[in-house]
């Protein structure tokens, strides 16, 4: 069986072809980063328009790379929640149109659950039950994953997502957008102990996160208490600020993941989302899972950041007979 997957939840226009094994045949991603850079963040209206222009060529390219034609597609899968509503609508509408005209089932996939499923996809073997950890620009959440379709929220950020904090701190330090890779690069030359930034809920029982306080702490450490602007830091000081911020975020992420493993008594930790690209975070998670006697699953970069291959979660839904009707909605909040 051949599936077509579609992703338009934020600022990547993506399509993928995969089989019911599941095996990924192609994964095409058209990034919009260059359109949003000037604004320092994703502009929802700009994202939706760009999806509209790019989605059909991206689908064509995914089919071409997979060596199949539209008429061979047996099911269409689309990330329909969560995300920017205008952006999601483009993918959902295209998926409905294709399912209707090809007369094949339509499958709605939760983008967050798909991020965790990317670990199963990359591993090529069962990873469930596991603790699922999605760390992206829009989400920071821990899940109890009994199976690919049975995910229960354990805790999530109460304000900013970890990736959002990276992006905002990059902007404070004058490092540009997207901020994650820039902060990581800058941090390499800095001392992670130079500044003492807050580690919210680190010693609390709760598995929730908060990253808005650290953003303000970096702001004041950069420009002086109570100041929101001034001369941009340079050289060693900027590297120290980046390294100390990154260290504080990593410490919280790793300790909460450790708590989730202990609470569920699961042996597997599956991590997804753009922030999982961070090498210092990967190393810290590896160290922690080793200490806990657990196994760490992090997909390669191209399956960590937003993509349509992870919509292969649809294969599990197809097996469970969980199909969507043509009134499938684009739902912005996690549903």
- Residue 5 interacts, among Zn ion, ligand KG4, none and using kind-specific CB cut-offs from 5 to 8 Å, with none
The single residue among 136, 200, 246, 259 that binds Zn ion, judged by CB under 5 A, is 136
Name the segment binding Zn ion (CB under 5 A); options: 28-36, 91-99, 135-143, 208-216: 135-143
> What span, in angstroms and rounded, lies between the C-alpha atoms of 172 and 182?
12
Is 35 or 70 the residue whose CB approaches Zn ion more closely? 35
Q: Is 18 helix (H, G, I), strand (E, B) or coil?
A: strand
Distance CA 217, CA 36 (A): 26
In this complex, which beta carbon is closest to ligand KG4, that of residue 164 or of residue 240? Answer: 164
User: In whole angstroms, how far apart are CA 288 and each of 279, 296, 306?
Assistant: 14, 9, 26
Kindly identify the residues of this chain, within the stretch 200-259, that bind ligand KG4 according to CB under 6 A: none
Least spacing, CB of residue 111 vs ligand KG4, in Å: 7
122 C-beta neighbours (distance < 10 Å), count: 20
Q: Which residue has the tokens 């992703």?
A: 7
- Which of 86/179 has CB closer to ligand KG4? 179
Size of site (CB under 5 A) for Zn ion? 2
Q: How many residues belong to the site for ligand KG4 (CB under 6 A)?
A: 20
Tokens, residue 17: 């072809």
Residue keyed to tokens 């306080």:
213
164 touches Zn ion by CB under 5 A: no
Classify residue 285 by its DSSP letter: H
Q: According to CB under 6 A, which residues from 140 to 199 bind ligand KG4?
A: 163-164, 166-167, 178-181, 184
Q: Which stretch binds Zn ion (CB under 5 A): 12-20, 45-53, 133-141, 278-286?
A: 133-141
Residues 248-277 that bind ligand KG4 (CB under 6 A): 273-275, 277
Q: How far apart are CA 6 and CA 326, in angstroms?
A: 16
Alpha-carbon distance of 88 to 83, in angstroms, equals 6
* Residues of span 297-316 touching ligand KG4 by CB under 6 A: 305-306
Using an 8 Å Cβ cutoff, are 79 and 112 in contact?
no
Q: Among 27, 136, 200, 244, which residue sits at the site for ligand KG4 (rule: CB under 6 A)?
A: 136
* CA 240 to each of CA 194, 213, 248, 254, 282: distance values in angstroms, whole numbers, following the listed order: 6, 18, 12, 21, 20
Binders in 43-82 for ligand KG4, by CB under 6 A: none
Residue 171 and residue 39 in contact, taking contact as beta carbons nearer than 8 Å: no
Complex with ligand KG4: residue 2 or 166, whichever CB lies closer: 166
The nearer residue to ligand KG4, 77 or 187, going by C-beta atoms, is 187
Q: CB under 8 Å to 202, separation ≥6 — which residues?
A: 251, 252, 255
Cα 263 to Cα 284: distance, rounded to the nearest angstrom: 20
- Out of Zn ion, ligand KG4, none, what residue 233 binds, judged by CB under 5 to 8 A for its kind, is none
Give the closest residue to 186 by CA, choosing from 176, 199, 198, 195. 176
The minimum distance between CB 72 and Zn ion, in angstroms, equals 28
CB of 67 to Zn ion, least distance (A): 28
Q: Can you give the binding site for ligand KG4, defined by CB under 6 A?
A: 10, 136-138, 163-164, 166-167, 178-181, 184, 273-275, 277-278, 305-306
List of residues contacting Zn ion (CB under 5 A): 136, 306
């Amino acid at each position: 069986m051949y599936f077509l997957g579609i992703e338009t939840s934020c600022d990547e226009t993506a399509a993928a072809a995969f089989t019911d094994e599941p095996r990924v045949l192609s994964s095409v991603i058209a990034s919009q980063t260059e359109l949003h850079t000037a604004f320092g963040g994703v502009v929802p209206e700009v994202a939706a328009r760009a999806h509209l222009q790019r989605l059909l060529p991206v689908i064509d390219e995914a089919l071409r790379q997979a060596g199949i034609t539209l008429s061979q597609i047996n099911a269409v899968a689309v990330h329909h929640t969560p995300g920017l509503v205008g952006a999601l609508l483009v993918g959902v509408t295209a998926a409905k149109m294709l399912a209707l005209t090809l007369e094949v089932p339509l499958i709605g996939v939760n983008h967050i659950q798909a991020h965790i499923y990317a670990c199963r996809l990359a591993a090529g073997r069962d990873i469930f039950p596991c603790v699922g950890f999605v760390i992206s620009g829009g989400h920071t959440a821990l899940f109890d994953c009994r199976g690919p379709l049975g995910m229960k929220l354990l805790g999530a950020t109460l304000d900013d997502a970890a990736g959002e904090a990276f992006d905002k701190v990059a902007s404070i330090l004058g490092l540009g957008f997207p901020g994650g890779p820039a902060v990581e690069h800058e941090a390499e030359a800095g001392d992670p102990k130079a500044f003492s930034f807050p580690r919210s809920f680190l010693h609390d029982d709760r598995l929730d996160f908060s990253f808005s306080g650290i953003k303000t702490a970096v702001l004041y450490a950069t420009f002086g208490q109570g100041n929101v602007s001034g001369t941009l830091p340079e050289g060693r000081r900027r590297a120290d600020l980046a390294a100390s911020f990154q260290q504080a975020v990593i410490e919280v992420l790793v300790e909460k993941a450790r708590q989730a493993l202990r609470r569920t008594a699961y042996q597997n930790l599956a991590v997804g989302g753009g922030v999982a690209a961070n090498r210092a975070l990967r190393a810290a998670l590896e160290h922690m899972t080793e200490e806990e006697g657990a196994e760490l699953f992090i997909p390669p970069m191209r399956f960590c950041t937003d993509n349509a291959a992870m919509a292969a979660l649809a294969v599990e839904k197809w097996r469970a007979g969980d199909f969507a009707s043509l009134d499938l909605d684009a739902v912005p909040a996690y549903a």
